[in-house]
Amino acid sequence: MKIGIDINPLVTGHQFRGIGVYTRNLLKAFLDSPICHSYYLYRSLGNFTIPFSKQQVVLHLVNSKEGGLSGLIKKDRVDVLHITDYYHPIYTLADLKQIKKQGTKVVVTIHDVIPLHFPNHYPREKTFIEENVKPLLFFVDKIIANSYATKQDLIKFFSLPSAKVFVTHEGVDHQFFTPIVKDKDSIVLQKYGIKLPYFLYVGGFDWRKNCETILRTYSEFSKKISDKYQLVFVGNDSPTQAMRKIMDKMSEIPIVTGFVPIDDLPPLYRNSAALLFPSYFEGFGLPVLEAMACGTPVLSSNKASLPEIVGDAGILINPDDLNGWVEAMKLLAIDPTLGETLRQKGFARVRTFTWDECARKTWQGYNSCLS
C-alpha cells in the first residue's frame, strides 16, 4: 500500500501537544513494523529528518512548484492520504477534490470536538470547527476517532453514519515511560525544587482542565490531612488568572515547572504519589496512560473519554466534587496498599494501549477505504 501522511504536527507548535505525540508515535510504529508499505510524508513548512527505517519513505515539502498537494499525490500515486492536522493544513478542499478524482482515498484523525460542548468558553474554536472541520468530515472517506467518546460526539454533532468513524486508541511508549527508578531521577526532582512526597498534574491550564479544583483540593488536603505533600504542575502554559487568585491565598505555593524536556517526564511521573486529573473533558487523555505506565496511581475525572481509558485502574471522581477529591487523596496518603493496588491495576490496564496496536487498527481503517 502507498500511504501518504500529513506530518505538519511534527514541524509546528503541535509537536509537543497531543496531536504531535500521536503523529510522531504512529509514524514510528509504521516505520518500525515488519509489515511493509511505502510511506510518503507531506509537510507545508519547517525541517524534518526521516527516521531510520527499512520501509520505503519519501519526504515532500508541499508548494505550488510541485502543483501543491494534489500534484505530489498524483506523482507518488498514493492509495490513501491520512490527514492528521486541520489547524495547520497541508491541503485546501480544492486539493482534496482533485486528490479524490485521482482515485486516492482520504482519511482524517479527529481528537475531539470539545468546543461544541462548551461554546461559551471556546467561541472561536467552535466557529473554526463549524467552518473548517465540518466540511472536511463530510468530504473524507473515513474518520479515525481516538476514543469511543469522540466517535459518539462526531455522530451526535454531525449526524455521521457510525460506519464512517472507526476508533483507534492511542498508545504509550512502554520503553520510555517505565516504573524503573533511575539514578538521574533525584537530579530531575532537584532541578525543579521538588521533594517527596508530591501530587502531580501534567497538561495545559485552560478552563476545561479544571486546575482550580486541583488547587482547592490540595489546599483542603494540606489543612485537614497532611501538609507534607507538595503539589507540582507540569505544562507548557502559565497559570491562568483564576489559578493565580487561588494560589495567592495558599500557604503552600505549588511548583509550576513550565515546559519540561520530554526526558524529564518519566521521573516526574514515577516519583509522584498520584496523578491528579480532574478535567471536564478529554478526547483521549494521554497523561493518565503515561502515569500508569510509570507506576503512578491515577485520580481521574469521570467525564467524557476518561472512564473509557482509565477503566477500573484508577479512582474516578466527579470533577466538581471537592470532598471526593480530598477523600481520595486522603485514602492514598493513609493506605499504602491502595496505592500498590492501583499501581498493579494500572500496569495491567496500560499494557492494552500500544502504538503498535494503534498502527494495526489504522491500517485496518486504510484497507476498509480500499475494499
Q: Please state which of the four CATH numbers 3.40.50.2000, 3.90.1150.10, 3.40.50.1000, 3.40.718.10 is assigned to the domain occupying 185-350.
A: 3.40.50.2000
Highest mean pLDDT out of 8-17, 195-204, 244-253: 195-204
- pLDDT of 197-240, one tens digit each? 999 999 999 999 999 999 999 999 999 899 999 999 998 778 99
75 contact partners, CB below 8 Å, separation of at least 6: 66, 67
| Higher per-residue confidence, 289 vs 36 | 289
Q: How confident is the model at residue 163 (pLDDT cuts 50, 70, 90)?
A: very high
pLDDT of residue 66: 72
Q: Between vectors from CA 192 to CA 191 and to CA 196, what angle results, nearest 5°?
A: 105
Report CA 160 to chain centroid distance, whole Å.
24
Predicted confidence (pLDDT) at residue 50 exceeds the cutoff of 90: no
pLDDT of residue 135: 95
Report the SS3 class of residue 273: coil
**Distance from C-alpha of 71 to C-alpha of 65, rounded to nearest angstrom:** 9
Q: Are 199 and 272 in contact (CB under 8 A)?
A: yes
**Distance from C-alpha of 336 to C-alpha of 177, rounded to nearest angstrom:** 22
pLDDT of residue 52: 72
Residue type at 165?
A: V
CA distances from 334 to 69, 124, 273, 329, 362 (A): 59, 45, 12, 9, 44
**Distance from C-alpha of 37 to C-alpha of 40, rounded to nearest angstrom:** 10
- pLDDT of 51-66, one tens digit each? 777 788 999 999 867 7
Domains 2-171+354-370 and 185-350 share a fold: yes
Q: Would you list the domain boundaries of the chain?
A: 2-171+354-370, 185-350
Mean pLDDT across the stretch 292-296?
A: 98
pLDDT of residue 236: 79
Mean pLDDT across the stretch 82-97?
A: 90
pLDDT of residue 65: 74
Query: Where does 2-171+354-370 sit in CATH, by number?
Result: 3.40.50.2000
pLDDT of residue 160: 97
What's the mean pLDDT when you consider all of the chain? 94
Q: How confident is the model at residue 67 (pLDDT cuts 50, 70, 90)?
A: confident
